[in-house]
């Protein structure tokens, strides 16, 4: 906060944090952190996290536009944009100047090494940051897999034609391990997302940060879900899950069209559930 606000004390308490928050017109924010300021305002930090990927066209400008739109829609009272990246990236990328603040991975690593009550955990986090810095220094590019890329593109084309309201983002080149198409329909709050986990054969409505609240969620919303849905834990998130059948991203899309259609219908079912429950979530 000191780097973002030039040492001024503005933070009072956290409201929440959400990753991969997509606006249908203005693109995606890697992370949004919302907090209550010392002036009792709801404040948002819109954060772009980079290792070495090149900036998208007008990326910093679109962060500013998403922040302004949040004020217009009363999602928050004020905002700042920030890019977090290795120092070398910040120095060589002109787009970084378009954000309100820049924070280097190196400064985060330095902070971790001098703060925290758990030295082992701090050391682990510092090592992860160091690996990202080294990755930027070496340079890194994904190795696209032609079969997987073709599958994703065919999936997107079909979703655009038959389920356009689900707002699946147009995919770029995909590596072999790319396995989770993501959906963020405009009706969903930032905390919610829907993921089709191809290899697991499930579709999950994920509720960020609610991994330890499964019993409470079940007690509150069991009457909302249908018999083919269940509450499960997905790492730090809670999820409402529908089983839809395993899909092999290495096989032709046309051979699995029936399974894809069933999955997209499940996504729409979970959107309906999300609309019902999201106003009641803490």
Considering the domain architecture, whether residues 164 and 132 belong to the same structural domain is answered as no
Query: Nearest-5° angle of CA 34, CA 32, CA 171?
Result: 160
**Do 228 and 129 share a structural domain?**
no
Do 103 and 193 reside in the same domain of the chain? no
Q: Does some domain include residue 6?
A: no
Is 122 found in the same domain as 174? no
The pLDDT of residue 95: 75
Claim to verify: residue 173 and residue 238 sit in the same structural domain? yes
Q: What are the C-alpha distances in Å from 250 to residues 59, 67, 199, 254?
A: 32, 39, 11, 12
One domain, residues 127 and 153: no
Among 90, 112, 138, the domain boundary falls at 138
Residue 121 and residue 154 share a domain: no
As for how many domains the chain has, the answer is 2
Q: Looking at the domain assignment, is residue 5 inside a domain?
A: no
With a cut of 80, say whether residue 64 has pLDDT above it. Answer: yes
Name 257's Cβ contacts closer than 8 Å, sequence gap at least 6.
Answer: 158
Mean pLDDT of the region 52-75? 86
Helix, strand, coil percentages in the chain from 3-state DSSP, rounded to 5 = 40, 25, 35
**Domain ranges, residue 248:** 146-280
List 104's β-bridge partners, or say none: 85
Residues 193 and 250 in one domain: yes
Whether the pLDDT of residue 275 is over 70: the answer is yes
Query: Which of 77, 103, 138 is where one domain is finished?
Result: 138
- The average confidence (pLDDT) of the chain is 85
Let me know: does 202 contact 242? Beta carbons within 8 Å. Answer: yes
1: in domain: no
Are residues 38 and 158 located together in one domain of the fold? no
The verdict on 151 and 271 lying in the same domain is yes
Range scoring the smallest mean pLDDT among 119-123, 150-154, 199-203: 119-123
pTM assigned to the model: 0.55
How many other CB atoms sit within 10 Å of the CB of residue 234?
Answer: 18
> For residue 268, is it within any domain?
yes
């Amino acid at each position: 906060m000191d780097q973002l606000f030039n040492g001024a004390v503005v933070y009072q308490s956290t409201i929440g944090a959400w990753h991969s928050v997509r606006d249908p017109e203005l693109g995606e924010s890697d992370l949004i952190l919302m907090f209550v300021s010392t002036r009792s305002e709801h404040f948002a930090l819109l954060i772009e996290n980079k290792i070495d990927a090149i900036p998208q066209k007008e990326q910093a400008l679109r962060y500013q536009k998403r922040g302004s739109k949040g004020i217009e829609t009363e999602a928050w009272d004020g905002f700042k944009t920030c890019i977090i990246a290795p120092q070398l990236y910040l120095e060589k990328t002109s787009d970084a100047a378009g954000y309100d603040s820049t924070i280097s991975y190196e400064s985060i690593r330095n902070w971790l090494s001098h703060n925290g009550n758990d030295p082992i955990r701090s050391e682990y986090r510092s090592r992860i940051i160091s690996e990202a810095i080294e990755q930027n220094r070496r340079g890194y590019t994904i190795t696209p897999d032609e079969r997987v890329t073709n599958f994703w593109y065919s999936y997107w084309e079909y979703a655009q034609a038959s389920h356009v309201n689900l707002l699946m983002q147009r995919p770029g080149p995909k590596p072999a391990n790319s396995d989770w198409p993501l959906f963020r329909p405009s009706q969903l709050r930032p905390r919610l997302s829907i993921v089709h986990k191809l290899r697991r054969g499930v579709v999950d409505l994920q509720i960020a940060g609610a991994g330890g609240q499964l019993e409470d969620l079940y007690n509150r919303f069991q009457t909302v879900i249908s018999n083919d849905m269940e509450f499960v834990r997905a790492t730090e998130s809670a999820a409402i899950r529908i089983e839809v059948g395993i899909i092999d991203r290495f096989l032709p899309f046309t051979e699995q069209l029936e399974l894809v259609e069933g999955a997209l219908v499940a996504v729409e079912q979970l959107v309906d559930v999300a609309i019902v429950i999201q106003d009641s979530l803490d």
